[in-house]
Amino acid sequence: MAHLPVGIVTYLFTDIESSVPRWECMPVAMQASLETHNAILQAAVQENGGVVFKFIGDELDCAFSQPLQALKAALAAQRGLGQQSWGETGPIRVRMGLHTGPAEAQGEDYLPCHTLNRIGRIHSAAYGGQILLSQETADLVQRELPEGVRLKDLGEHHLKGMQWLEHLYQVSAPGLVQDFPPLASVITHPHNLPTQLTSFVGREREIEAVLDLLRNHRLITLTGSGGVGKTRLALVVAARVLDDYPAGVWYIELAPLSDPDLVSHSVAYTLGLRDAAGVSILDTLTFFLSTRQGLLLLDNCEHLLKACSSLADHLLVNCPKLRILASSREPLGVAGEMVFRVPSLTVPDPQQLVSLDALAACEGVRLFIDRAQYNLPGFHVTTDNKKAIAQVCQRLDGIPLAIELAAARLGVLPVAQVAARLDDSFRLLTGGSRSVLPRQQTLRATIDWSYRLLDKKENRLFRRLSVFAGGWTLEAAEHICSGQGVKGEEMLDLLSSLVDKSLVIAERKQGQETRFRLLETVRQYVREKLFDERESQALRIRHRDYFLHLAEIADLKYESEERLEWTRKIKLDLDNLRLAMEWSFHGCAEVEVGLRLAVAIKEWWQSLGYLQEACDWLLTGLEKCGSKPIPAWLRARSLIALGGSLWLIGDFAEARRRLGMGIAVCREIGDEANADLCEALYKLAMAYSDQTENIGLSQSLLDESVEVGRKLTPAESFYLAWALVFRAWMYIFAWNEPERAGQDAQESYNLACQAGCHWDCAGSLGILAWLAHEKGDNRQASQQFQEALALCEEAEDRYGLFQSHLLIGGFYRDLGDFRRSKYHYREALKFWNFVGSRTPMSISFLAYFGSLEIRQSEHSPAAKRIEHLRKAALLLGAAEKLRGGYYFFDRTFTLADYTLD
């Protein structure tokens, strides 16, 4: 088969009219006629540069890179069929359809798409001997028609199962049948729905939801932010229900109107009604609709809200068979109104990219690809561009208008450059279609439209909300954004109004307080409106102070029964905390405040897996402080937090230096710093665990850490619990004293339970499980391993999850259960990649996983054996590169090297 055309493709679909009765009555003769039919069509297609890519019974599906070639092939085929003598079967009459649109090849076929759906319906609407063209194909061939050929306009038709009306043309030419009955389309009722020039992507769930509302309610209002696709969704739904409304479906575009008094006139004129002497236009409209079953689509009501609400209420009361589908950036506020908030398109997470197929299934990506192909035929998702595409869709919040404008830039910029320029979306995303209203031609104009409809207080609050990153709570807005014209007690009403106007998004989850957020594009816009530098600085200071207070409370709650609640809060406000640190370090030069923030969430950096980021913030703060006087406790904790994070990412020398400095400051402070000293000592001990010659020093540091820990108050006992955990691991792997390891682990477990923070039991449970396994009590070991894993999952502790899966993988490896072992090693690898830990335990994990792949290769077929060995080489190579001189994991590498041999 020749290569399939890609990008913008013209399809020619054909099939034989009334073939089934002939097959039933004369199968032998029909088989001969089919072979002749196929030969004529294949010759016509090949002679005109096309490809027949599929046979389905007597249907041929053909593809062409040029629309004129497809038309010539159809003409040649119909003439050839007409000149053929068919014998017993009688003349074979073939219906044909042509349509042009974007498509993507997969092997010797095309991926399912809207273009293929349309050509299937277009050719099915034809009669035998007839050639039908879509609007797109007709536009492309109109100026190049062969001599004697013309296109007959058949008007718009609602084809079965299609959302939009299809404008069809019949090919008239010498040698072809000219007269046919009306097309077999399903249109029966009047309407004025506009023909759409671009395909509609996604929204299957939303379409069904709105259709369900329309079946059961008489007024449905689609709300949502500007550019989110309210109008397109409403038009799709309206096209789907044409057959349900004998009096018609009528689209009324209200955006061009500025006079509220003209709303009723606009609806009446759309329906063909005119003013009558002595009768108001509203009365004329009401009388006309009073007994008719029709649907009005009122589009863009937000700037004429009162007039639209009044009209809708009046018509629904007086016209019992009427239904109204409205689109507006805020609800109409009419009794019985059902509000459907149109969401953004689904988008991928650029940090967690999946397969190309899964990426292309995201609605935002599908729209981007579809629109990109209009500007760059053949564009599709690849391994090279998938991250940039995901970034574009995610940064634009899945807003269809913004995605379409970004895709339009691919005519001059590669997708990676488009993604890189999105920090200034309003300069990049311009130049939309000139056929739409000016307010829809750029992203800025779309948001301007909503901004101008705000009152003074809404305007003031809307500007101030740009101080947040990622989202906020009502409490945060009250603390940060009130004052100077906005009272705290007004905040809920004002926020609710901005939500109703689709400028702020409210996110509600069961059992959690409501959070609010701005779309990133809206946030960029509104930050430009915060033009008063004094107001801007005051807001940032209040924002910084609020989140410093929140972080320092969170620090106190980490080792408590409230940890889960505060984990959720910190995760939700991590972007706000980052912004507050950025402002402290680089904006207002309040370095001490920034350090306090970074130190307050030090435990969250580790448990959530942001080790490198923790190092970056802490190092920035300490460098900016330099020799400036800051509280000794803050310097000590900053150094200890930095040193601990450096150890976890594998920078042992710098970790030792920073932890040593922190210990020196703690000793200067005295007993008040014992808790910090305890932490610094056990972390320094682990930072010294990379070299054989440091084994004695590591042991003495851990012993001192435990000794200091025993002097702490019960509220600080978790420091001792962790010191005991680290010493227990050293007893197992470095000093070969399992009994002492068990004693330390059990004491650590008891301390964590007494302190009321059972999540800290995970570390000691892992040790106790390992020791039980060493003794042969695998039932207890399995139970304790699973308990530790469950605690880490509950606490959303990514670092703990990595360690737990690692230990369980080793447990099942020792038992010879390679399937379970591999599952847990894969899970460990997932968290290891995210966390970025480079401790000896992390590196041993790579070696263990590699050796497991080798073991599996020994029992696999040849093809799979190579894949197992390839993975083993990658894992063992990574482990060897990272290993350095870790003394107490040498046996791991001996095993791995032996297995490779």
pLDDT digits (tens, 9 = 90+) for 459-496: 889 889 989 988 899 999 999 998 887 888 889 999 98
pLDDT at 441 over 50: no
Q: What count of other Cβ atoms lies within 10 Å of the Cβ of residue 144?
A: 11
Inter-residue contact 130 to 95 (CB < 8 Å): yes
Run of H or E residues at 388: helix 386-395
Closest among 306, 290, 308, 288 to 298, alpha carbons compared: 308
Residue 611: predicted pLDDT: 84
What are the pLDDT digits (tens) for 172-212?
998 888 888 777 665 556 788 877 767 788 888 899 999 99
pLDDT at 787 over 70: yes
Contacts of 81 (CB under 8 A, 6+ apart): 37, 40, 41, 92, 93, 94
Q: What is the mean pLDDT of residues 133-139?
A: 92
- The two most distant CA atoms of the chain are separated, in Å, by 110
Inter-residue contact 474 to 513 (CB < 8 Å): yes
Q: Which CATH superfamily is domain 7-172 in?
A: Nucleotide cyclase, GGDEF domain (3.30.70.1230)
pLDDT at 685 over 80: yes
Confidence of residue 547 (pLDDT cuts 50, 70, 90): very high
Position 742: which residue type?
A: G
Confidence of residue 655 (pLDDT cuts 50, 70, 90): very high
Inter-residue contact 518 to 528 (CB < 8 Å): no
Q: Which of 112-116, 495-499, 837-841 has the lowest mean pLDDT?
A: 837-841
Inter-residue contact 61 to 159 (CB < 8 Å): no
Three-point CA angle 166, 137, 248, nearest 5°: 15
What are the pLDDT digits (tens) for 488-546?
888 999 998 888 887 888 888 777 888 998 877 777 777 777 656 677 888 899 999 99
Residue 233: predicted pLDDT: 92
Residue 687: predicted pLDDT: 87
Q: How many helices (H) and strands (E) does the chain have?
A: 40, 17
Inter-residue contact 425 to 443 (CB < 8 Å): yes
What are the pLDDT digits (tens) for 153-168?
888 787 876 656 788 9
Confidence of residue 327 (pLDDT cuts 50, 70, 90): very high
Residue 151: predicted pLDDT: 93
CATH class of 454-531: mainly alpha
Instruction: Quote the DSSP letter at residue 181.
Output: P
Residue 78: predicted pLDDT: 93
Confidence of residue 843 (pLDDT cuts 50, 70, 90): low
Rounded Cα–Cα distance for residues 650 and 485 (Å): 52
pLDDT at 882 over 50: no
Confidence of residue 886 (pLDDT cuts 50, 70, 90): very low
Residue 157: predicted pLDDT: 81
Inter-residue contact 166 to 159 (CB < 8 Å): yes
pLDDT at 650 over 70: yes
What are the pLDDT digits (tens) for 60-83?
999 999 999 999 999 999 999 988
pLDDT at 434 over 50: no
What are the pLDDT digits (tens) for 274-322?
776 677 888 888 988 888 889 999 998 988 899 999 999 999 999 999 9
The count of C-alpha atoms lying within 13 angstroms of the C-alpha of 485, restricted to the half-sphere facing its C-beta, is 11
What share of the chain has pLDDT > 90, as a percent?
34
pLDDT: is 100 or 691 the higher one? 100
Q: Which of 44-53, 365-374, 404-413 has the lowest mean pLDDT?
A: 404-413
Give how far the C-alpha of residue 98 lies from the chain's centroid of Cα atoms, to the nearest Å. 36
pLDDT at 893 over 60: no
Residue 792 three-state SS = helix
Cβ neighbourhood burial of 747 (10 Å; 0-12, 13-18, 19+): middle
pLDDT at 240 over 50: yes
Closest among 637, 639, 655, 658 to 647, alpha carbons compared: 655
Residue 211: predicted pLDDT: 94
Q: What is the mean pLDDT of residues 617-639?
A: 90
Residue 182 three-state SS = coil
Rounded Cα–Cα distance for residues 516 and 531 (Å): 23
Residue 788: predicted pLDDT: 92
What are the pLDDT digits (tens) for 373-382?
877 777 888 8
Residue 30 three-state SS = helix
Inter-residue contact 567 to 606 (CB < 8 Å): no
pLDDT: is 338 or 418 the higher one? 338
What is 204-341's CATH number?
A: 3.40.50.300
pLDDT: is 301 or 352 the higher one? 301
Rounded Cα–Cα distance for residues 695 and 689 (Å): 7
pLDDT: is 328 or 560 the higher one? 328
What are the pLDDT digits (tens) for 255-271?
878 888 889 988 988 88
Confidence of residue 818 (pLDDT cuts 50, 70, 90): confident
Q: In degrees to the nearest 10, what's the CA dihedral of 310, 311, 317, 318?
A: 140
Residue 298: predicted pLDDT: 94
Residue 890: predicted pLDDT: 40
Q: Give bridge partners of residue 97 from the DSSP assignment.
A: 13, 132
pLDDT at 169 over 60: yes
Strands (E), 664-710: none
Rounded Cα–Cα distance for residues 36 and 813 (Å): 65
Rounded Cα–Cα distance for residues 42 and 40 (Å): 6
Closest among 767, 777, 779 to 803, alpha carbons compared: 767
What are the pLDDT digits (tens) for 241-256?
888 888 888 999 888 7
What share of the chain has pLDDT > 70, as a percent?
86
Give the domain 797-900 fold. Answer: 1.25.40
pLDDT: is 800 or 315 the higher one? 315
Position 610: which residue type?
A: Y
pLDDT at 565 over 80: yes
What is the residue-averaged pLDDT of the chain?
Answer: 83
Inter-residue contact 684 to 643 (CB < 8 Å): yes
Rounded Cα–Cα distance for residues 349 and 351 (Å): 5
Residue 209: predicted pLDDT: 94
Residue 391: predicted pLDDT: 82
